[in-house]
A and B are shown apart, each in its own frame.
Chain A
Amino acid sequence: MNTKLNIVPFSGAEDIKLHLEGVSHAYGDGESELTVLEDLSCSVKSGELVAVVGPSGSGKSTFLSIAGALLTPSRGEVHIGGRSLSGMNERQLADLRLHEIGFIFQGANLLPYLKVEEQLRFVAKLGRADKEQAARRAAELLERLGLTARRKHYPDKLSGGERQRVAVARALMNDPSVILADEPTASLDADRGRDVTKLLAERIKAEGKAGVIVTHDERILPYCDRVLRLESGRLREG
C-alpha cells in the first residue's frame, strides 16, 4: 500500500504543493498584446481546497492551464510538488501531469469505451504503476466515492453525478500532489454539485492533496478552505 495515502494533517507553510510566483501571461505579440494574467502569486498547501472564482474572461482558464502545466506563462515561476516547471520539455511536462496533477474537467470527460474500473486502471497503466497496487488503489477509491456497485458499467450508463465522481477517482488514481478542477459542477444540479464537491474536499483532506477548483458556482464555496477572486488578471483573497 502506498504510504502517502495515509497522510492526513498538513504541517504548515513548508508543505506547499502548488506555488505560483509572479506569473503573468499575455496572448499575441507587439501592439495587439492582450494581458490575461498579471503578476499573480499564490500557494496551495497540502490538504487545502482553494476555490478560484471570477467573471468569465477574467483569465480562469489561463490560470488553470498554467497551474496544470499545459501552458508556459510569459513570465513567472510555477512549482508543483516542490519542482520548478521552468526548463521542462514537452515529455517531462506530460510526465509531471501524469504523476503530480489530477485533472477534473467540466464534463466528466471519461473515455466512453472504458468501464469505470478501467478508467482508473488506464491512468495507472499510463503511469506504469504496479498492477496489483493499482487494483487495490482503484478498489479503495471506488469504495470511498460510493462507486463500487458501478465499477463494471460504461460511462453512458451512469448518472451525471456518478460520472463526475469517477472523474474525481481518476484524478486521484496516480496519487498526485495537486488536484485541479475546471468547473466540475457545471453540468450537475445543485444537490449533485454539492455532493461531488463534498466528496472531493474529503479526499483532498484525507490524502493531503492541494486542491484548486475554478468555478463560478457560489453554492460550493462553503466546502472550500479559501476563496480567491480573479478579476481582470489579478488575484485577491476574498
Chain B
Amino acid sequence: MFLALREIRFSKTRYVLIVTIMLLVSFLVLFVTGLANGLGNATSSAVRNMPADHFIVQKDSDDRFARSALHGEQVKEAQNAVGQESAEPLGVQMTTVTRKDSDSKIDIALFGVQADGWLVPQTVEGQGLNQTAKGTVLADRHLAESGVAIGDTIVDSATGLEWTVGGFTENQSYSHMPAVWMNDADWAAYRSEIMAARGGEADTAYNAIALRVSGSQAEELRASVTDADVITKSQAISAIPGHKAEQSSLMMMIAFLYVISAFVLAVFFYVITIQKTGQFGILKAIGAKTRYLAGSVVAQVLVLSVGSLAVGVGLVLVMKAMLPAAMPFALDGGTILLSCSLFLAVALIGGLASVVKVAKTDALDAIGRAGA
C-alpha cells in the first residue's frame, strides 16, 4: 500500500484518466444489468413470482403457454398423480381490453386460476380474488398507468365480456403486459366465449398446470402424463415471447463489457509496469521481495477498481432514482454486490500480466544502469 498510494498521489492525471474509463465501464455494466433485470421482469415476473417449480404443457407446444392446450381430464390426471394440493390448472391468454366508456386499447395477459389456490399473487390494494365474486379480477398495478382504477370495468375486445378491477397486485407482468388474474369460473366463461367464436373446438380448459413437486416426482410425471410434457420454471420463462432474445443480447453486452474492462486494465498496468521495469530492478536489488512488489501492483488495481466502482454505483443509484417509472429497470443490492465482485475479479485478472512482468524483473538490471 505504501508505494501504491504514493504513486497514485504523484501521478494524479494518469490515474484519474484510468479511473474515469473504469468508472464509465462499471456504470455501463450496472446500467445494462439493471435494464436486463427490468426487461426480464417485464416479460416474465408473473411466471417468475409464481411459487411453482414445474409446469405441465401440451406436447409440441415449444414450452409456450400460449400454444399449449390441456383439457380437464389431464388436470385430473396430474392432480391424482401428485396430489390435489401440488397441481393447479393455469389459464394464460393475451388479449386486448378497453376501459368502459373509453376507446383506448390496453394489452393485457389474462391469468385464470383457482381463487383459493397458491397461484394467486398477493393483493397490495383493494380486494383479492374470490371464488364467488363473479367478474371481479385482480390486476397488476401497471394497469393503473393506463388509467384503470379500482372499481373500473374493463371490456374484452374479442368477446365483449366485462370484468371489474377489484384490487391491484405488484410485479406481475407477462411479455411486457400487465397480468390480470381471474377465478376459474370467469376463466371458463371466457374460454367458452372464445371457443364459440372459433367454432366449436374440443374442450381446452387450460393452458398449463402449475406444479409444486420435487425433481423425482416431475420425472415420474413426465413418464406418466399423456400427450403432455413436464417443463421446469426456467424453461417456461425462457419460452415467453421476447424473453430469450432480449436477455441474450443484453447478456452479451454485459459479458463484453467485463472483457473490455479486463483488457483496458491489463494494457494500462502492463504499460506502466514496463515503464517501471528499471525501478523494480532497483527495488529488488535493495532487498524488496517480488511478493511485496506484486502486492503493490495488486493494491493499485484494487484501489482504482474499488474507487471507480463506488462512484459508478453512486451514479447508477442516482440514475435509478431519476428514471421514469415506466422504464423497466431493476437493480437490487444483491445484484449490485454480485456485479461489483465480478468486476473486481475481472480487474485482478487484468493485473495479472503486470504481476508476471514484475516477477520476471531481475535485480541484476540495477547494476550498470544510469537511470531508473
Interface residues of A in 61-98 (CB under 8 A from B): 61, 64-65, 68, 70-71, 91, 94-98
- Report if B11 contacts A (CB, 8 A): yes
Evaluate contact between B369 and A106: CB separation under 8 angstroms: yes
Instruction: Determine the chain A residues whose CB is within 8 A of the CB of B198 once the complex forms.
Output: none
Instruction: Determine the chain A residues whose CB is within 8 A of the CB of B282 once the complex forms.
Output: 103, 105, 109
Evaluate contact between B285 and A97: CB separation under 8 angstroms: yes
Evaluate contact between B287 and A99: CB separation under 8 angstroms: yes
**Main secondary structure on A side of the interface with B:** mixed
Interface residues of A in 98-140 (CB under 8 A from B): 98-99, 101-103, 105-107, 109-114, 118, 122-123, 125-127
Evaluate contact between A113 and B367: CB separation under 8 angstroms: no
Interface residues of B in 233-291 (CB under 8 A from A): 278-279, 282-289
Number of interface residues of B (CB under 8 A): 27
Of the candidates B10, B288, B289, the one whose C-beta lies within 8 Å of that of A113 is: B10
Evaluate contact between B367 and A65: CB separation under 8 angstroms: yes
A114 to B367, CA, bound (A): 21
B277 nearest CB across to chain A (Å):
13
Evaluate contact between A94 and B3: CB separation under 8 angstroms: no
Given contacts A123-B286, A127-B287, is CB(A109)–CB(B9) below 8 Å?
no
* Residue ID in chain B nearest A180 by CB atoms: B367
B144 nearest CB across to chain A (Å):
59
Evaluate contact between B288 and A105: CB separation under 8 angstroms: no
A182 to B174, CA, bound (A): 76
- Report if A186 contacts B (CB, 8 A): yes
Evaluate contact between B372 and A68: CB separation under 8 angstroms: no
Evaluate contact between A107 and B286: CB separation under 8 angstroms: no
B334 nearest CB across to chain A (Å):
39
Given contacts A65-B367, A112-B10, is CB(A107)–CB(B292) below 8 Å?
no
Instruction: Determine the chain B residues whose CB is within 8 A of the CB of A105 once the complex forms.
Output: 282, 285, 366-367, 369
Evaluate contact between B363 and A70: CB separation under 8 angstroms: yes
Of the candidates B2, B9, B286, the one whose C-beta lies within 8 Å of that of A125 is: B2
Given contacts A105-B366, A106-B370, is CB(A98)–CB(B286) below 8 Å?
yes
Given contacts A97-B287, A123-B286, is CB(A113)–CB(B11) below 8 Å?
yes
- Report if A159 contacts B (CB, 8 A): no
Given contacts A105-B282, A109-B372, is CB(A94)–CB(B367) below 8 Å?
no
Interface residues of B in 286-324 (CB under 8 A from A): 286-289, 292
- Report if A154 contacts B (CB, 8 A): yes
B103 nearest CB across to chain A (Å):
71
- Report if A35 contacts B (CB, 8 A): no
User: Would you give the 0/1 interface string for B3-45, flagging 1 where the beta carbon is closer than 8 Å to chain A?
Assistant: 1001101110000000000000000000000000000000000
Task: Provide 28 A-B residue pairs closer than 8 Å at the C-beta atoms, listed in order of the A residue.
Answer: A61-B367, A65-B364, A71-B364, A94-B287, A94-B363, A97-B285, A97-B287, A98-B286, A103-B285, A103-B286, A107-B369, A107-B371, A107-B372, A109-B278, A109-B279, A109-B369, A109-B371, A109-B372, A110-B372, A111-B283, A111-B372, A113-B10, A114-B6, A118-B6, A122-B2, A123-B287, A126-B287, A182-B368
Q: Given known contacts A109-B282, A114-B3, what 8 new A-B pairs fall within 8 Å (CB)?
A: A70-B285, A70-B364, A103-B286, A105-B369, A112-B372, A122-B3, A126-B288, A127-B287
